[in-house]
Structure 1
Amino acid sequence: MRINQSVLYFTFHFICLFFKVSAQCESLDIQMATKLIANSRFNITFMSYNTIGRNLCIKECLKYPACLSVNFDRSHLKCELVSFSSDVNHVYLLEDSRFEHIVINKTADISTDNEMSKTTVRGKCNELFHKCVLTKSVGRRCLPEGKRWSFHNIARNKTIHSSSVWSDNLPQRGPQYLIDGIRTAINHYCAATKTESQPWFAVDLQNVYQIDHVLVYTGWNNGEPCNTYQVRVGVTTTWNEMTSCGVGSQAQDETIVCKDCLLGRYVQLQLTSTDASCHIVTCEIEVVGSLI
């Protein structure tokens, strides 16, 4: 059977155009990703899809406020959503030849079919997005999306240590008063270290949590340079291996929001000054997060 040459020509160019457009679309979606890491998989996920392409995998992540990256298995078309960025929590990024790990740029302008409104609940990890729908019975109704875990104070009555205790280990200055639930000094029961270079308090949460923010209720204003401290989060107690959540001042109560929703078991508060005449006096430390 003889086939018209013009039909063959049209069919060939249609296929070329299709693949060219598809490649451009894929390239556009990959531009939304700040980093693509081959042969890697982040081993903590919250949702997965089967038989789905890379582009749709990225788009699914963009629907969830807390999704920061994805694992994608190109051979089996499997997509896994991750609520952490491997740029910050790299310890959980493992070598896996089946997957590629993609860190998503959540600042991209994404259009959706549904009207969305954002409500921030003090921190960043527990942002709520509300999808508004029109119902026959109650009219317009906004339903919360994106919050998967219950965020609460995970430091209460956990294990805590300090670099030292004020006045020869005076009992009412011990670090245990930082996690007793009492935010103000009662009978002078607030924790304090001795005067020393870069004193610290460290909370052992006894498990790995997603850390949203840290509340510090101060008991003393030392004056500069003794006021400024840094809060770090990590899976070990080695200061240089921990990631900074932020800085605060002993001059006031502080809410320190972790920029990247950090993963960690240990939360440490340490003065930044090396002045040996400085010490920390703090009444309570609350670590707000959720078990992963």
Structure 2
Amino acid sequence: MLSALTGSIELGLLYAIMALGVYITFRILNFPDLTVDGSFTTGGGIAAMMIAGGHSPLLATIVAFLGGLVAGALTGVLHTKGKVNALLSGILMMIALYSINLRIMGKANIPLLGEDTLLTNVPILWVMPFVILAVKFALDWFFRTDLGLALRATGDNPRMIRSFGVNTDTTTIVGLSLSNGMVALAGGLIAQYQAFAEITMGVGMIVIGLASVIIGEAIFGSRTVMRATLAVVLGAIVYRLVVALALRVGLQPTDMKLMTALIVIVALTLPKVRGSFKQKALVRKRTAQLQTKLPQGGEG
């Protein structure tokens, strides 16, 4: 039980980087980017290929991050310059990345057993929290810069920010590039953690990222960017703990994608259902107040 709990927290910490990347597109840019499923594998494939080829694990991880930057930038160019629908541009890039990733890896699976990686002999529970906090604070700082504020404004009101002379095409490309760079970085670390990379390792990553973002915001709040990024990190850990608990009570590993989808569906619809009930309750309350006042008005 303790080992399962430890493993879930370790995975949650590693996936938190990916969740922060999804947060940038989903919440900051308001962009439904499905490139994530492909760029996660890109990061894992590049890192595994380079480490298996004898390169430095640190260099392999950096190049994995750069690979994600390129993938995200291409999606951004496709959307902004090619005028392709946001959702469709992500889907097209995700499909293209499947073949690109196979080219990068050379085969469907690259084992890393016996290879030295960044996570070899590293106490993840002690080291990764500091790494994640460094990434979180770097993002918080970035979102307070002129470019970061322009990126946030692009997601909130692109027409308004264009009136101030900001090129929203550039901010969109930068946001998508940074997001997928972080996703690919997470993919590279996950490949090193599990000691292999495979071509399907990114399937469903966008849903897992969304689940982490939504769970974190629902539990810990998101009134400010600093609070939201912390909530996303904690949401990734909570999600992995929920998955571990589900496996403990008897769910099959093949059911995890369905469970993740259900979590996202509930988290997305629950606030709207709750708001609808509150609205109806308010209408009933006002109607009752009017009914009690009508006779008094008639007597007067």
Bin of the TM-score, shorter chain as denominator length? under 0.3
**Greater per-residue strand proportion:** 1
Give the structure with higher Rg (CA).
Answer: 1
More helix by share: 2
Q: Which has the higher contact order (CA 8 A, sep 6+)?
A: 2
TM-score, scaled to structure 2 = 0.19
